[in-house]
C-alpha cells in the first residue's frame, strides 16, 4: 500500500465491504474450533470452573470435619443392667490450650463418641473416677478438682441421675 494507495492493491469500500480492486469480497464468519470430543471451548471453561468450585467446597468440608483435638480414653464403668457406660477420657487440643478431663455417658452398644452425652468437663488433667451407685445413678469423683475449673456438671441425663464429689472443701 505504498505510493499513496493507488495501484493494484488499492482498497475500495463498496456497500460497507472492503475488498481488493476488481475482486469480489466474500465475508467469512469465524467460529472457535471444536475439540476432538465435540466440546467447545466455552463448555470446557464452564466445566473447569465447576471442577474448581467442587474441589474448593470439598476441601472446606474436609477441613471443617477434621478436629484438631485428640481424645484419650482413661477408664469406663458399665451400669448394673449393662445398657449404659460412663467413659472417662482426656482431651488434648494442642499446645495453645490446656487439657480437659471429661466424662460422657452413652449406650454400651455404641462405639465411643466423645461429644455425645457429656456430663462432666474440667479444665486440666485430673484423676477422675466413675461408679454406678444404683441402677440409674452415676457417681463422679475428682479429689483434686476445684470448682472454678469445672465447666460442665450435669445433674441428670435422661433417666440417669449424676452426682459429683469434688476436692476437699468444694
The predicted pLDDT at position 167 comes to 80
Question: What average pLDDT is seen over the chain?
Answer: 78
Mean pLDDT of 7-24: 50
At 97, is the pLDDT very low, low, confident or very high (cuts 50, 70, 90)?
confident
In whole angstroms, what is the distance from residue 167 CA to residue 165 CA? 7
| Residue 61 binned pLDDT confidence (cut-offs 50, 70, 90) | low
Domains of the chain, residue spans: 70-165
Residue 10: is its pLDDT beyond 50? no
Where does the pLDDT of residue 41 fall: very low under 50, low under 70, confident under 90, or very high at 90 and above?
Answer: low
Whether the Cβ atoms of residue 160 and residue 138 lie closer than 8 Å to each other? yes
End-to-end CA distance of the chain: 103
* 3-state percent helix, strand, coil for the chain, nearest multiple of 5: 15, 40, 45
**What is the rounded CA–CA span in Å between residue 4 and residue 8?**
12
pLDDT category at 73 given cuts 50, 70, 90 is very high
Share of the chain above pLDDT 90, in %: 49
Burial of 24 (C-beta count, 10 Å sphere; 0-12/13-18/19+): exposed
Q: Is the pLDDT of residue 38 over 80?
A: no
**Residue 141 pLDDT greater than 80, yes or no:** yes
> Please, which pLDDT band fits residue 69 given cuts at 50, 70 and 90?
confident
91-128 as b/e, with b when 16 or more CB fall inside 10 Å?
beeeeeeeebbbbbbbeeeeeeebeebbbbbbbeebeb
Question: Is this structure's pTM higher than 0.75?
Answer: no
Q: pLDDT-based confidence at 56, cuts 50/70/90?
A: confident
The residue among 110 and 44 whose pLDDT is bigger is 110
Amino acid at each position: 500500500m505504498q505510493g499513496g494507495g493507488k495501484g493494484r492493491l488499492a482498497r475500495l469500500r463498496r456497500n460497507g465491504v472492503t475488498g481488493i480492486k476488481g475482486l469480489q469480497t466474500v465475508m467469512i464468519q469465524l467460529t472457535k474450533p471444536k475439540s476432538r470430543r465435540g466440546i467447545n471451548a466455552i463448555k470446557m471453561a464452564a466445566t473447569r470452573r465447576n471442577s474448581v468450585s467442587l474441589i474448593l467446597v470439598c476441601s472446606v468440608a474436609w477441613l471443617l470435619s477434621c478436629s484438631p483435638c485428640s481424645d484419650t480414653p482413661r477408664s469406663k464403668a458399665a451400669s448394673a443392667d449393662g445398657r449404659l457406660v460412663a467413659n472417662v477420657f482426656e482431651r488434648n487440643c494442642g499446645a495453645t490450650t490446656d487439657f480437659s478431663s471429661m466424662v460422657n455417658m452413652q449406650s454400651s452398644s455404641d462405639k465411643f463418641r466423645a461429644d455425645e452425652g457429656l456430663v462432666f468437663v474440667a479444665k486440666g488433667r485430673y484423676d477422675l473416677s466413675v461408679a454406678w451407685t444404683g441402677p440409674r445413678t452415676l457417681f463422679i469423683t475428682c479429689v483434686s478438682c476445684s470448682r472454678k475449673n469445672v465447666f460442665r456438671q450435669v445433674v441428670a441425663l435422661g433417666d440417669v441421675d449424676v452426682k459429683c464429689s469434688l476436692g476437699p472443701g468444694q
